[in-house]
């Protein structure tokens, strides 16, 4: 893990929280897609696209471009994104996918949601037999939803299907400069940017809302939790949850939620 720095004891230069959304087309502005960023230990502030023409809403495409730009710059930066980074192990096993990279490649072929809306790329009815199938990390929470469950309160299915091809693109474009946790290992190397899955529902009520709407609060809470845990010297412990060797091997293909111990 990174050596602690002079930035108030933090190991990361920036802390970014993203409340994701699978609504609309990949290039369309989406009110549910929100980003908060804490720089150099400061309070998290909302980031907006700031593109010519006055666009103030993120699209998934613009967000991926913004992330790529930030993660090519100085760091390290830690980013928490609110969607699943992988599927249950049974999904990978049924398709003969031994690694997370193989999963991302196959998923992009089956569901090209970086080009088309989720509704054109996914048939929820095709998941009828899997709706109650969960990843290990989801079974360790009280309310996390399955990646197969569309059309319900708190569902993460649409955002996950929408976001996974963009993770693949970031991974291909940025290479080893970014540590995709935990797939690249449980302990991020010193100085490396980190992308991790988060679950804002377990964080949002720790911080006053201060006039933010629900999507803003989720993104803010992720950034503020990352910032405050890091400043207190506690974030490193969350990168190594208490898992048995068998559980750890499973999580290395299914992924894990940062903050679930």
The tokens describing 159, both together, are 């955002």
- pLDDT greater at residue 6 or residue 118: 118
132 within 8 A of 146, measured Cβ to Cβ: yes
215 within 8 A of 31, measured Cβ to Cβ: yes
Asked if pLDDT for residue 27 goes beyond 70, the answer is yes
pLDDT band at 20 (very low <50, low <70, confident <90, very high): very high
Read off the pLDDT of residues 103-129 as tens digits, 9 standing for 90 and up: 999 999 999 999 999 999 998 887 877
User: b vs e for 7-44, b when ≥16 Cβ sit within 10 Å of the residue's Cβ?
Assistant: beebbbbbbbbbbbbbbbbbeeebebbbbbbbeebeeb
Residue boundaries of the structural domains of the chain: 14-254
Asked if pLDDT for residue 2 goes beyond 50, the answer is no
The tokens describing 154, both together, are 């708190």
What is the reported pLDDT for 55?
59
Q: Tell me how far apart the alpha carbons of residues 226 and 238 are, in angstroms, rounded to a whole number.
A: 10
16 within 8 A of 81, measured Cβ to Cβ: no
* Sign, Cα dihedral of 47, 2, 237, 72: positive
Asked if pLDDT for residue 7 goes beyond 60, the answer is no
pLDDT band at 84 (very low <50, low <70, confident <90, very high): very high
13 within 8 A of 193, measured Cβ to Cβ: no
What is the reported pLDDT for 51?
57
DSSP state of 132: T
| The Cα angle at residue 64 between residues 204 and 112, in degrees rounded to 5 | 105
Q: Omega into 12 within 30° of 0, i.e. cis?
A: no
> DSSP string spanning 204-258?
GGGS--TT--HHHHHHHHHHHHHHHHHHTT-HHHHTS----HHHHHHHHHH--BT
Asked if pLDDT for residue 43 goes beyond 70, the answer is yes
Asked if pLDDT for residue 3 goes beyond 60, the answer is no
What is the reported pLDDT for 235?
96
Asked if pLDDT for residue 205 goes beyond 50, the answer is yes
């Amino acid at each position: 893990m990174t050596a602690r720095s002079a930035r108030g004891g933090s190991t990361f230069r920036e802390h970014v929280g993203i409340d994701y959304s699978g609504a609309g087309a990949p290039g369309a502005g989406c009110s549910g897609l929100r980003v908060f960023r804490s720089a150099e230990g400061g309070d998290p502030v909302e980031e907006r696209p700031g593109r010519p023409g006055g666009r103030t809403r993120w699209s998934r495409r613009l967000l991926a471009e913004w992330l790529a730009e930030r993660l090519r710059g100085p760091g390290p930066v830690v980013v928490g994104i609110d969607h699943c980074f992988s599927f249950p192990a049974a999904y990978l096993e049924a398709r003969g996918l031994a690694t997370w990279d193989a999963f991302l490649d196959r998923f992009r072929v089956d569901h090209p949601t970086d080009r088309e809306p989720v509704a054109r790329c996914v048939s929820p009815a095709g998941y009828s037999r899997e709706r109650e199938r969960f990843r290990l990390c989801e079974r360790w929470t009280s309310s996390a939803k399955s990646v197969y469950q569309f059309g319900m309160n708190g569902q993460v299915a649409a955002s996950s299907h929408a976001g996974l091809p963009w993770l693949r693109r970031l991974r291909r474009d940025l290479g080893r400069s970014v540590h995709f946790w935990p797939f690249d290992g449980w302990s991020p190397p010193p100085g490396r940017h980190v992308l991790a899955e988060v679950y804002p529902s377990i964080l949002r009520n720790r911080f006053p809302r201060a006039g933010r709407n629900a999507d803003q609060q989720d993104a803010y809470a992720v950034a503020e939790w990352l910032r405050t845990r890091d400043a207190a010297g506690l974030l490193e412990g969350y990168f190594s949850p208490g898992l048995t060797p068998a559980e750890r091997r499973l999580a290395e293909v299914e992924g894990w939620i940062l903050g679930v111990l």
